[in-house]
Structure 1
């Protein structure tokens, strides 16, 4: 994942549901990625052991990589390397960023959760993060959130650094416009795609259409 240039637009960053059957989800993921532009997929499984994460990565990683989509591992830089992922995303309590940067090497992507703090984002950048994630911008049922940044943080960040920023938290086709216009390079989405009433393909299409409308304003 690299920073979009001036002529490029904000792109989708899909996060998997926290529980899934890898073999069944493989076709679901393929349909979503074939429906429109997606920059990355993050494997984010909760409450499972390392073997289950490895099996999921082995099943889903080729689906993304064969389509030129980056496949990232949540929390675990070590498993990202072991399973051939394109990088890892670390939350605030998921390990040391400098150690993860060293483990991933120069060619894999490292992302970092920074909640509502430009200070944390600067520290992450100094530790070697390739992108920083701010949020949650909207209410979300995915996880409990205590941080609710103003979209202005995206504007300030994009105007003062070249490191891309990801917006996350309750993002839908209906509310994403403000984040696109504020300067988000990527929109991290879960429910708006996987829980879309017409299926994930429709979710991807709706979000990409909303991004294009917002970028045109």
Structure 2
């Protein structure tokens, strides 16, 4: 989403949660993206085998793309190609990232994760990915964002031009804390997709929090 209605501040990236079937997630995802602006969705494989992961992606990727939302596959470049994903997220370190950048970045976005330290982030940044992700999929089980992710995300936003993504906590109250780091994107999973949460209301509220609290970015150029 790059039209004039794109917010000029931290935006939402949704992360599919662990342990959910494709159809159940599709229902929640449809509700979530009806709630307001979402930049992209990342689909980790968690414990799925290759066939199950591809079936999951085949269900969700077209929904995202029809709504103008970039769909990102994690680590499996073959599945990314088969489902015509918009991006590939690499958790496997610098060599795997370098290979993905060389082979795929001319056609789709290539993001980097698995960061545990500033040195990790800088090493991955040398490969010029499209973003660097601070956090671990499926570990947003505390209300607040992990302090290490906040610290790394804030440092990255201040020092490096490559966009950053910071994983929020399980409470929407953590959205403002993440945005305050100056990061480009806040990643939400449990805060939107947990049992008892209305995904549409959650995304609507998250965007309202960002509208109220997130720093505005300087125009490009």
Does the TM-score normalized on the shorter chain lie above 0.5? Answer: yes
2:174 aligned counterpart, secondary structure: coil
The TM-score, its normalising length taken from structure 1, stands at: 0.83
- Is 2:48 the partner of 1:77? no
1:129 aligns with 2:129: yes
Q: CA deviation at 1:125?
A: 2.0
| Residue of structure 1 equivalent to 2:66 | 66
Partner of 1:204 in structure 2? 203
Tell me what 1:31 maps to.
31
| 1:194 partnered with 2:163 | no
Match of 1:46 in 2: 46
Q: Which residue of 1 aligns with 2:120?
A: 120
Contact 1:171–1:188 under 8 Å retained in 2 = no
Q: Determine the C-alpha separation between the residues in 2 that align with 1:195 and 1:128.
A: 34
Q: Tell me if 1:111 matches 2:117.
A: no
**Segment of structure 1 superposing worse, 50-59 or 65-74:** 50-59
TM-score by length of 2: 0.82
Aligned CA distance change for structure 1 residues 168 and 152 (closer, same or farther; 3 Å) = same
Q: State the 1:60 CA deviation.
A: 0.7
Structure 1 runs of 4+ aligned residues shifted over 6 Å read none
| CA distance 1:124–1:34, change in 2 (3 Å) | same
> Contact conserved, 1:97 with 1:128, CA < 8 A, in 2?
no
The alignment of Structure 1 onto Structure 2 pairs a total of residues equal to 207
Q: Offset of 1:74 from its aligned partner?
A: 1.6
Query: What is the root-mean-square deviation of aligned Cα atoms in Å?
Result: 2.6
